Amino acid sequence: MSDVFKSFVLFIALTFFKVSGVDFTISRERVLLGSTGTLTMTCDVSETDVNNIYLISIRKLRSATLSGSEQNDWQTLIIMEAGINETPSLSSDIAAVAATKDYVAGGLWDSTTPANTFLTLDMNIEKLVCDDARTYRCELSYKSSTTSSVTSANRNSTFSAYVRPQVTSLITRKNGFIVQGTSPSDIAIAEVGDELELTCTANIGSLPGTIIRWHRTSETSQNDDFIGYQAPQGTYDEGTAVSDNQCGYTREATTRYNTTAADANRENNLAFECYVTVTGDPYGNSYTSENNPRFYTDVNKPSYEETGSITGRNEISVAAGVMAAIVIASLIVGILIGVVFTWVVLNRKRTATGLKKQNQHQPTSVSRETELFNVPSHSPNTYEQLQNRTETESRMAYDSLNAASANSSTVPDSQSQYESLKHGGGGTSHTYAGLNINQ
């Protein structure tokens, strides 16, 4: 068989059957992110037809799937190139990223025996993220010793990334209202019969079938020791696993619990904890989420408990409703009484004002004694005026009778009238005395 025919057969085999001149391996098919260790990629030249190597590199697919120009979809991570850099080195395109991820380049360039050439890239697993779980490619460009033409070969490989589960939040509602109770020193208060609704949100890891589980403190232990708790049917909603568009899933689960008399009689706190457990690759035998949030509550006996039996809440609610109705009715009656009283007072004030205006246009009634002396009853100092007038008139009468008494033969009875006036007799003195008493 001629050399030309052999070359043609080799070309057809490389083209149509894609015989690769390289082997590409990744040390782990599954990587648990956050764990310790090293992920190593190795690109080996396996083609015996290699005469001269021009370039060997390891590249990473930029997007989840190939699109557009395949050449532009790949990012070079590590490279060796003939006549330029024949020692393994990290690409300048990823210099900043390589420093944060602890990438380490390794390999050997063997120009004498090209088949001995290889390239390695080490990655620190603790620094990897979900986005690093992409497709990687080993590329080789060389001169065929058979055809003397430039030929390229490549092989792809990939690994899967898994994340550990982690509970992110636990929210508790008591009778529909959010309550705190995150630790034994921060305890929520509840009563027998209260409904607790606990909602737990968690990154459940990379297995969508994983569910959120619950713990509860024992009723008999004096310590806050947690035991497994299976919520009764109808009181638990495990939620739906939702992809985080990376390499994990989230889930939100809710359970409902009604506090009991046994909870009120316990010596320790009633408490709940939600957690996530995963098994299988790459978690090993089992892995349980750590630092899980908890809810603590102290359940009290209700104030309406009598002789060891709990009175129905409906009776208490009815009593409270009756009391509220009585209070409201009392307020309404009080308001009506106030309105009526205000109306009466205002009406009386209007009547008094009208009478006052009417009296200002009519003479005021006076006593008989005041009319006698022609003194208005409403005049100021009426007492003093009447006193002065009485004294004056009495003095005049006294003087007149005194003079007449001297000549009693001329004025009969003048002597007796004089004596009577002298000793305070007569109507004038009585009038004066009455005014003095009234004054």
218 versus 7: the higher-pLDDT residue is 218
Residue range 126-138: mean pLDDT, rounded: 94
* Cβ atoms within 10 Å, residue 419: 12
Q: Which two tokens stand for residue 70?
A: 């395949």
- Please state which CATH number belongs to domain 166-306: 2.60.40.10
307 versus 145: the higher-pLDDT residue is 145
What's the pLDDT tens digit per position in 94-118? 888 888 889 999 999 988 888 899 9
Res 280: pLDDT: 86
Contact 226, 216 (CB under 8 A): yes
Share of the chain above pLDDT 90, in %: 47
| Whole-structure pTM value | 0.59
DSSP H stretches of helix in 163-312: 261-265
254 versus 419: the higher-pLDDT residue is 254
Scan for tokens 């490279």, then name that residue.
79
323 versus 328: the higher-pLDDT residue is 328
3-state secondary structure of 162: strand
Contact 35, 156 (CB under 8 A): no
Q: What distances in angstroms separate CA 138 from CA 27, 88, 108, 323, 360, one per listed residue?
A: 14, 14, 15, 83, 122
Least confident of 67-71, 158-162, 328-332, 384-388: 67-71
Res 282: pLDDT: 86
| Most confident residue range from 6-15, 46-55, 203-212, 299-308 | 203-212
What is the distance, to the nearest Å, from the Cα of residue 2 to the centroid of all Cα atoms in its chain?
83
Quote the CA–CA distance of 312 and 316 in Å, as a whole number.
7
Res 367: pLDDT: 46
What is the distance, to the nearest Å, from the Cα of residue 385 to the centroid of all Cα atoms in its chain?
87
Mention every residue, 6+ apart, whose C-beta is less than 8 A from residue 433.
none
Residue range 339-362: mean pLDDT, rounded: 70
Residue 287 pLDDT level (bands cut at 50, 70, 90):
very high
| Host H or E run for residue 195 | strand 195-205
Q: What is the mean pLDDT of the chain?
A: 79
Inform me whether the pLDDT recorded for 427 exceeds 60. no
Res 104: pLDDT: 94
Residue range 246-253: mean pLDDT, rounded: 96
Fold of 3-162: Immunoglobulin-like (2.60.40)
